[in-house]
Amino acid sequence: MNSVFSILTDGTVVSPRGYSAAGVAAGLKRNNQPDCALLVSASPATAAAAFTDSAVAAAPVLYGRDLMSSGQVLRAVFVNSGNANACTGDQGWRDTLATAGAVARQLRIEPNEVLVSSTGRIGVPLPMDKIIAGVGKAVRGLSPAGGEAAAAAIMTTDTRPKTAAASLEIDGCQVTVGGMAKGAGMIAPKLVAASARQATMLAYVTTDAKVSGAFLEECLCRSLDLSFNRITVDGDGSTNDTFLALANGQAGNHELTAEHPQAAEFAAAFNWLAGYLARAIVLDGEGATRFVELRVHGAATVAEARQCAEAVANSVLCKTAWFGGDPNWGRILAAAGCSGVRLQPDRLALNIQGVPMVRNGVDAGTPLFEQEKAVATDELKIDLALGAGDQEFTVWTCDLSYEYVRINADYRT
């Protein structure tokens, strides 16, 4: 229980009023697992989105950027897994439009009310016969209880669905925020708001609150560095990263704007949900055995704190040491030193699980058995002080195991 909002047991993307979802198998995956998801709002929903900043963006991302650039309201989101529809040229664009059109016809809405997302193999044209069949099957399967099925259908190398929801009171009305996400590898999102022309990581947040477009986008943008933009599994961004928020207003509250007296309460619930989903992605990282929270502080700027934190988090030597339970703090300092940020070597300090590893740039004198005990946990908290200022940034990451190599050595074949 949070003082502002309550976390719902078994919450999903359809926990807010007025949403339904489905997850079905259309044959895009070899194992015939669910691979098409559909999320629908019963009424037009204010939307805000952020997409990958990759210069090699997939067709659905290009379509989504265009769709969202004019402050579009949405009614539906269709997601296919098993095929990224990336690096597919003009055909990929046409297939995205055809998918949106098929969803719109069956739901009797406009094509520009449908967002499309894809995830999976890059460079392979969509099998449109299967996509169209999947659209029909998903429309027929829509249900107010379809959140778990939809979350399962968007998975690729994920081992489990990622869903959550929370509720709070706004203007005397019960408001709910819900969400789902997928991601386990190719995770190092750099997301910026669609309005600025800016995850594989996919995340969808819904709410039944009435929210202005400007404030919904503000909530989404402010949540990024507290959630999806602070995670990295392997340092590789995706062609398809997408984060979408929908608000359909069915809770009955007065419209939330930045000036609303409960704006901060809604933003807190939104931030919690985005952070929960982001953390769930790292916890389910491909082959991951340890979750790592890495805080870099004492930096000259926030940007440098982030740059240093990401350099350490993406270091193969650091990640393999964490996998092996090896308190090899020298690798962390080496990665920090090569990160290109300002630091004071004789002022560096490092703690792991609160245990001193480095003081003033040298060994802190903690006995090896205590160091080993500190890293013998499934969740590591690492604090690195640079001695160059008073700014900080926190990254969520994981270790690198044999299983990660196995999964990614034959992903395509």
Does the global pTM surpass 0.75?
yes
Out of 88, 200, 242, 366, the active site residue is 200
Instruction: Identify whether 157 is a catalytic site residue.
Output: no
**Kind of pairing between the strands at 73-83 and 349-352:** unpaired
Helix and strand numbers, DSSP H then E, in the chain: 11, 16
CA distances from 195 to 51, 201, 221 (A): 10, 20, 11
Distance CA(225)–CA(228), nearest Å, equals: 7
Residue 412: per-residue pLDDT:
55
CA distances from 90 to 63, 153, 193 (A): 12, 26, 25
Distance CA(54)–CA(51), nearest Å, equals: 9
Each domain of the chain, given as residue ranges in start order, spans 6-283, 291-409
pLDDT in tens, 4-50: 899 999 999 999 999 999 999 999 987 889 999 999 999 999 999 99
381 contact partners, CB below 8 Å, separation of at least 6: 292, 293, 295, 352, 353, 354
Mean pLDDT, residues 61-70: 91
Which band of pLDDT confidence, cut at 50, 70 and 90, is reported for residue 408?
confident
Class of domain 6-283: alpha beta
291-409 CATH, one of 3.30.70.930, 3.10.290.10, 3.10.20.340, 3.40.50.300: 3.10.20.340
User: 3-state secondary structure string, 153-210?
Assistant: HCCCCCCCCEEEEEEEEECCEEEEEEEEEECCCCCCCCEEEHHHCCCCCEEEEEECCC
pLDDT in tens, 106-125: 999 999 999 999 998 999 99
Match 């477009």 to its residue by tokens: 213
Residue 286: per-residue pLDDT:
74
